[in-house]
Amino acid sequence: MRQRVVVARLVRLLLQERGILGLALGLVTAASLFQPLRPYLYRYVIDYPLREGNISALIGWGIALMALTSLHALTLRWQTLTTQKLSWGLTQKLRQKLFAKVLRLSIPTIEKYPSGMLYTRTLTDTQTLQNTLAETLLVIAGELIQLTFLVGLMFMVDPILASATLVAMPLGLLTSRYFAQKIRESFGRVRLYIARMNGYLNELLQSRETTESLGANTPLWQRFLRLNTAYYLSYRRVIGYFALFFPAMELVTLFSLAAVLLIGSYLIYKGESTIGALVAFTLYQQLFFRPFRIIADQVNSLQMGIVSAERIFRLLDLDGEEASTGQVPTLPPPYTIEIKDVRFSYTPDKPLLENLHFTWRPGQVYGLIAPTGRGKSTLFYLLLGYYSPQAGEIRIGGLPISAWDKQKLRALIAYIPQEPVLFEGTLRENLTLYEAISDAELEAAAHQIGIGLYVQKWSLDMPILAGGGGLSAGEKQLIALWRAALRRPAVWILDEPTAHIDPSTERFIYSRLQYLAQNAVVLVVAHRPEAHAFCDEIIALPAPSHAA
For residue 290, count CB atoms less than 10 angstroms from its CB and return exposed for 0-12, middle for 13-18, buried for 19 or more.
Answer: middle
Residues 255 and 258: their CA atoms lie apart, in Å, by: 5
Strand-strand pairing, 391-396 and 399-400: antiparallel
Residues 252 and 249: their CA atoms lie apart, in Å, by: 5
DSSP for 235-262 reads HHHHHHHHHHHHHHHHHHHHHHHHHHHH
Residues 117 and 199: beta-carbon distance below 8 Å: yes
Main-chain dihedrals φ then ψ at residue 22, nearest 5 degrees: -60, -40
Residues 385 and 93: their CA atoms lie apart, in Å, by: 30
For residue 209, count CB atoms less than 10 angstroms from its CB and return exposed for 0-12, middle for 13-18, buried for 19 or more.
Answer: exposed
DSSP for 65-81 reads HHHHHHHHHHHHHHHHH
Amino acid, single-letter form, for residue 178: Y
CA distances from 280 to 35, 49, 55, 142, 162 (A): 12, 15, 21, 21, 11
The helix (H) or strand (E) run that includes residue 391 is strand 391-396
DSSP for 412-476 reads TEEEE-SS----SEEHHHHHHTT----HHHHHHHHHHTT-HHHHTTS-TT-EE-GGGTTS-HHHH
**From the CB of residue 60, how many other CB atoms can be counted at a distance below 10 Å?**
13
- Nearest CA among 477, 392, 393, 484 for reference residue 442: 484
pLDDT tens per residue across span 491-536: 999 988 777 778 888 888 888 888 889 889 999 988 778 788 889 9
Residues 253 and 130: beta-carbon distance below 8 Å: no
Residues 5 and 402: their CA atoms lie apart, in Å, by: 37
The contacts of residue 346 (CB under 8 Å, 6+ apart) are 352, 378
Residues 19 and 343: their CA atoms lie apart, in Å, by: 57
Residues 509 and 501: beta-carbon distance below 8 Å: yes
The confidence score (pLDDT) of residue 547 equals 56
The confidence score (pLDDT) of residue 121 equals 65
The confidence score (pLDDT) of residue 526 equals 81
Domains along the chain with CATH numbers? 3-316 (1.20.1560.10), 337-547 (3.40.50.300)
The confidence score (pLDDT) of residue 160 equals 92
Q: Which long-range contacts (CB under 8 A, 24 or more apart) does 228-234 make?
A: 228/197, 230/193, 231/190, 231/193, 231/194, 231/197, 234/186, 234/189, 234/190, 234/192, 234/193
Q: How far apart are the first and last CA of the chain?
A: 48
In the predicted model, residues of the chain with pLDDT beneath 50 are none
The confidence score (pLDDT) of residue 210 equals 60
The confidence score (pLDDT) of residue 2 equals 77
- Catalogue the E-assigned strands of 283-352: 337-344
